[in-house]
């Protein structure tokens, strides 16, 4: 990638839908945390790869909080997009919503921030990622907060910089 390529947040947006089946649950009939983490990683990897047009690998997961159990039979929607691109890495945010198809009620279940690194498949080396131009107020807020979270990660001081 070159530094001249600039993309929008919309260019990286991914929406993934999953249906919680019995093999996705724990003994209590709730979605297993590891399964949700897997779905989050896949959705974010797709958004990151879509942004950088290369393979993107997970470097870090920040602030994954489980607000309440997700039940067998519920619909899980994962919405992921790149918040900010740096040199060879990018922060991807994901919002997890749960819908009870019987009632139509949708609840915000989880949010997380993941850092991905762009990798050249042939050489295995890190490659530059296109910069991102936020367009909406929400995208600008997330863009600015992504830099603060990155500074915290690099300094070794972790804490929630913003609400999801």
Tens digit of each residue's pLDDT (9 = 90 or more) over 74-120: 999 999 999 999 999 999 999 999 999 899 999 999 999 999 999 99
User: What pLDDT score was predicted for residue 64?
Assistant: 82
Q: Are 74 and 100 in contact (CB under 8 A)?
A: yes
User: What pLDDT score was predicted for residue 154?
Assistant: 84
User: What pLDDT score was predicted for residue 56?
Assistant: 97
Q: Where are the domains of the chain?
A: 6-155
Q: Across residues 8-31, what is the average pLDDT?
A: 96
What pairing do the DSSP bridges indicate for beta strands 55-62 and 106-119?
A: antiparallel
User: What pLDDT score was predicted for residue 1?
Assistant: 44
Q: Sign of dihedral through CA atoms 105, 106, 108, 111?
A: positive
User: What pLDDT score was predicted for residue 52?
Assistant: 95
Tens digit of each residue's pLDDT (9 = 90 or more) over 133-153: 999 999 999 999 999 999 988
Residue 10 in 3-state DSSP? Answer: helix
Which tokens go with 85? 């691109």
Q: Across residues 15-41, what is the average pLDDT?
A: 97
Tens digit of each residue's pLDDT (9 = 90 or more) over 46-76: 999 999 999 999 999 987 888 889 999 999 9
Residue 125 clears pLDDT 70, i.e. is over it = yes
* In this structure, CATH architecture of domain 6-155: Roll (3.10)
């Amino acid at each position: 990638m070159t530094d001249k390529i600039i993309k929008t947040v919309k260019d990286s947006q991914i929406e993934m839908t999953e249906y919680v089946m019995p093999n996705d649950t724990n003994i209590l009939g709730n979605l297993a945390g590891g399964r949700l983490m897997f779905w989050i990683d896949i959705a974010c990897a797709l958004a990151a790869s879509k942004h950088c047009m290369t393979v993107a690998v997970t470097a870090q997961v920040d602030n994954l909080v489980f607000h309440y159990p997700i039940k067998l039979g519920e619909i899980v929607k994962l919405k992921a997009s790149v918040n900010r691109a740096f040199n060879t890495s990018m922060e991807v945010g994901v919002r997890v919503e749960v819908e009870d198809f019987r009632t139509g009620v949708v609840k915000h279940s989880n949010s997380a921030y993941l850092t991905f690194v762009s990798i050249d498949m042939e050489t295995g080396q890190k490659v530059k990622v296109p910069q991102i131009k936020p367009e909406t107020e929400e995208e600008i807020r997330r863009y600015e907060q992504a830099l603060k979270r990155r500074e915290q990660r690099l300094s070794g001081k972790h804490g929630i910089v913003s609400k999801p």
